[in-house]
Structure 1
Amino acid sequence: MFVRAYLRASTDGQDASRARGPLEAFAQDHGHAIAASYMENASGATADRPELRRLLADARPGDVLLVEAIDRLSRLPAPAWRALRGEIEAKGLRVVALDLPTSHAAMKAGEADEFTARMLDAVNGMMLDMLAAIARKDYEQRRERQAQGIAKAKAEGAYQGRPVDLEKRRKILDLLASGYSVRKAANLLGCSTSTVQAAKREGI
């Protein structure tokens, strides 16, 4: 069994590698090692994430896609989630999440009879959809609260927007000017590709 771990954090200021320890311990407890890791700082509200795309391109039937929680994989709206789940299923990947106990049986592939395996897959699929919907709802509520806070601050004259990290922008532009790709610059500086693209677009 080939276990592919996906680690995601939403912003550059968050540590996407934080979940590595729990994921490795979980895999070890189930008699497996993580064979490949894919880590990035990107929003879960979009399926266009470089490392997620790379994982899907690398995946082979029977592989496990291991995540700490379903919200690390998706905060997508329903149509986009269905499309992503369709890609995952087309690749023959089985999603296992630490916060989804019904998915853990996938770490013991081949031990259950066909009927039991199909029943577990059906239950897991239903729970997967439910947690993906909850993750999206949480995302929308946080965005709404954030917008309300900004609107209040603007009304009180206290909102100044998010400060730009000029030093990081200078480094990004230097790397791009030296011929590095957007993804390579992002990897070298430990930031998201969207941050690099914004610096490329807006300059200093």
Structure 2
Amino acid sequence: MATFLYARVSTSEQTLDHQKTQAEKSGFTFDHVIADHGVSGVSVLMKDRPEGKRLFDMLRAGDTLVVRWVDRLGRNYADVTDTIREFIRRGVVIRTVINGMTFDGSTSDPMQMAVRDAMISFMAASAQAQAEATKEAQKAGIANARDKGDDSYKGRKPSYSREQYTTVASLLGKNASVSEIAQASGLTRQTVYRIKEDPAAAEKALAVWSL
């Protein structure tokens, strides 16, 4: 049984060292580190990435796969869910650095399986929303405007970080109360309500500000 860290490095902000350090600070240690460099997360299927193919070949039952977040595992909702479920069928345990989520096939209880699969779907949908928001921001020429120092087009800067947004999204998927989510994320109840009412807009604001 081995532990793998898989990273996708597609921008200057998403360095392998940063993803490794973040995972190690969360208590993970690895036997293998596999990374795809310069691969678009929104256009290339997981199984078609050079190191993604290698990961599919290497993983065995009992292994643990660590990723920063589920968006590392596919280009869209279908790809992420297909990848996760394929690995679970193989007996691989998937763990995320952000929020410490665990997905595996250890349960045979139908209700627990349904909850697990619903969570996978929710997280994958959130990952695709992030990717779509990023593409929209790129098409609007945001990078060019940012280089010119003009932030007026971006609107109000979000009062939450990417990690806080992810915490809110994951707890909403668990049907936690707004008060519980506010306490866990360190956000105000009003901010949690805004994210809950329009998660796509909240995701888009993060993408616009490159957060």
Q: Normalising by structure 2, what TM-score?
A: 0.54
1:43/1:121 Cα in 2 relative to 1: closer, same or farther (>3 Å)?
Answer: farther
1:86-126 deviations in Å (ceiling 9; x for gaps): 4323322121002243418x6xx99xxx678x866654432
Return the alpha-carbon distance in structure 2 between the equivalents of residues 95 and 14 of structure 1.
Answer: 20
Return the alpha-carbon distance in structure 2 between the equivalents of residues 79 and 143 of structure 1.
Answer: 18
Residue 20 of structure 2 aligns with which residue?
Answer: 20
Residue 84 of structure 1 aligns with which residue?
Answer: 83
1:58 is displaced (CA, Å) by: 0.5
Is the 1:56–1:91 contact (alpha carbons within 8 Å) kept by the matching residues of 2?
Answer: no
Runs of 4+ aligned structure 1 residues displaced above 6 Å come to none
Mark the runs of 5 or more structure 1 residues left unpaired by the alignment. 154-204
2:76 maps to a residue whose letter is: P
Residue 64 of structure 1 aligns with which residue?
Answer: 64
Q: RCO greater where, 1 or 2, for CA within 8 Å and sep 6 or more?
A: 1
Mark the runs of 5 or more structure 2 residues left unpaired by the alignment. 146-211
Which of the residues 10, 19, 34 maps onto 1:38?
Answer: 34
Is the 1:103–1:124 contact (alpha carbons within 8 Å) kept by the matching residues of 2?
Answer: no
Is the 2:81–2:120 contact (alpha carbons within 8 Å) kept by the matching residues of 1?
Answer: no
Is the 1:9–1:72 contact (alpha carbons within 8 Å) kept by the matching residues of 2?
Answer: no
**Structure with bigger gyration radius:** 1
2:73 maps to a residue whose letter is: L
1:4 is displaced (CA, Å) by: 0.8
1:68 maps to a residue whose letter is: R
1:52 maps to a residue whose letter is: G
Residue 94 of structure 1 aligns with which residue?
Answer: 93
Is the 1:68–1:99 contact (alpha carbons within 8 Å) kept by the matching residues of 2?
Answer: yes
Is the 2:73–2:79 contact (alpha carbons within 8 Å) kept by the matching residues of 1?
Answer: no
Return the alpha-carbon distance in structure 2 between the equivalents of residues 17 and 119 of structure 1.
Answer: 39
Kindly report the root-mean-square deviation, in angstroms, between the aligned alpha carbons of the 2 structures: 3.1
Q: How does 1:106-121 map to 2 (within 5 A)?
A: none
Q: Normalising by structure 1, what TM-score?
A: 0.56
Return the alpha-carbon distance in structure 2 between the equivalents of residues 27 and 56 of structure 1.
Answer: 24
Please say if 1:146 is aligned against 2:138: yes
SS in 2 for 1:34: coil
1:18 is displaced (CA, Å) by: 1.1
SS in 1 for 2:31: strand
% identity of equivalent residues: 27
Residue 128 of structure 1 aligns with which residue?
Answer: 120
Return the alpha-carbon distance in structure 2 between the equivalents of residues 96 and 121 of structure 1.
Answer: 17
1:84 maps to a residue whose letter is: T
Return the alpha-carbon distance in structure 2 between the equivalents of residues 131 and 4 of structure 1.
Answer: 21
Number of aligned residue pairs: give it: 140
Is the 1:102–1:120 contact (alpha carbons within 8 Å) kept by the matching residues of 2?
Answer: no
Return the alpha-carbon distance in structure 2 between the equivalents of residues 100 and 129 of structure 1.
Answer: 16
1:13 is displaced (CA, Å) by: 6.9
Is the 1:102–1:123 contact (alpha carbons within 8 Å) kept by the matching residues of 2?
Answer: no
1:133 maps to a residue whose letter is: A
